[in-house]
């Protein structure tokens, strides 16, 4: 009887909360970095200041990653707070978006591809990146409410 009563306490004592900050090599915060407990689907995203809070199992390994940075693994020890420094990746040339989550190299695609450069997104003086994609790519519609540029929701439709 005592074992069954103490069972929930044993389960809860095997997890703990970890906090931290994700920064780049220049000490700047990396917003929206992904923090994932390795081997599970347990994960969170860092806020705009690079701060995160995640509940993990004891002896967990955290995988921290973000676009343009090398993924970093951290073994969770006795500390409850971690400062993570991500190193910039030198291998990212372009991002290719395909249907159904299929990963392909741009050269191996059997259909038309288009490229939008960063300087082309600033020509329209939109207040957000999604709005500035409007009219730049064939078959792509940017749909949003009238206040979308001021924080409303916008959706990207690719060929319906």
Average pLDDT, the chain: 77
96-99: long-range contacts, CB 8 A cutoff, minimum separation 24: 97/158
> How far from the centroid of its chain's Cα atoms is residue 52's Cα?
12
Helix (H) or strand (E) holding 5: helix 2-12
Give residue for tokens 């995640």: 54
Distance (Å, whole) CA 34 – CA 54? 11
pLDDT on residue 160: 58
pLDDT single digits (tens) 71-126: 999 999 889 999 999 998 876 666 666 656 666 565 665 555 667 776 766 666 66
The predicted pLDDT at position 148 comes to 47
Domain 2-86 superfamily per CATH: Immunoglobulins (2.60.40.10)
- Residue ranges per structural domain of the chain: 2-86, 115-158
Is pLDDT above 60 for 155?
yes
Residue 142 and residue 154 in contact, taking contact as beta carbons nearer than 8 Å: yes
Q: Which is nearest to 18 in space by CA: 80, 109, 88, 104?
A: 80
Give the closest residue to 77 by CA, choosing from 7, 10, 25, 20.
20
The tokens for 27 are 């000490």
Mind listing the pLDDT tens digit for each residue in 111-136?
Answer: 556 677 767 666 666 666 666 767 67
Q: What are phi and psi of 67, to 5 degrees?
A: -60, 140
Does residue 147 surpass a pLDDT of 60?
Answer: no
């Amino acid at each position: 009887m005592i074992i069954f009563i103490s069972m929930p306490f044993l389960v809860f004592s095997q997890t703990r909360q970890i906090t931290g900050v994700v920064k780049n090599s220049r000490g700047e915060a990396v917003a929206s970095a992904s923090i994932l407990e390795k081997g599970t689907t347990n994960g969170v995203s860092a806020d705009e200041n690079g701060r995160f809070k995640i509940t993990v199992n004891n002896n967990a390994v955290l995988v921290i990653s973000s676009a343009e940075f090398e993924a970093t693994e951290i073994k969770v020890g006795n500390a409850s707070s971690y400062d993570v420094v991500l190193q910039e990746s030198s291998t990212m040339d372009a991002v290719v978006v395909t249907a159904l989550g299929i990963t392909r190299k741009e050269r191996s695609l059997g259909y038309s591809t288009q490229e939008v450069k960063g300087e082309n997104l600033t020509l329209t003086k939109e207040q957000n990146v999604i709005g500035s994609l409007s009219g730049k790519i064939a078959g792509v519609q940017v749909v949003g409410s009238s206040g979308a540029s001021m924080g409303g929701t916008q959706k990207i439709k690719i060929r319906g």
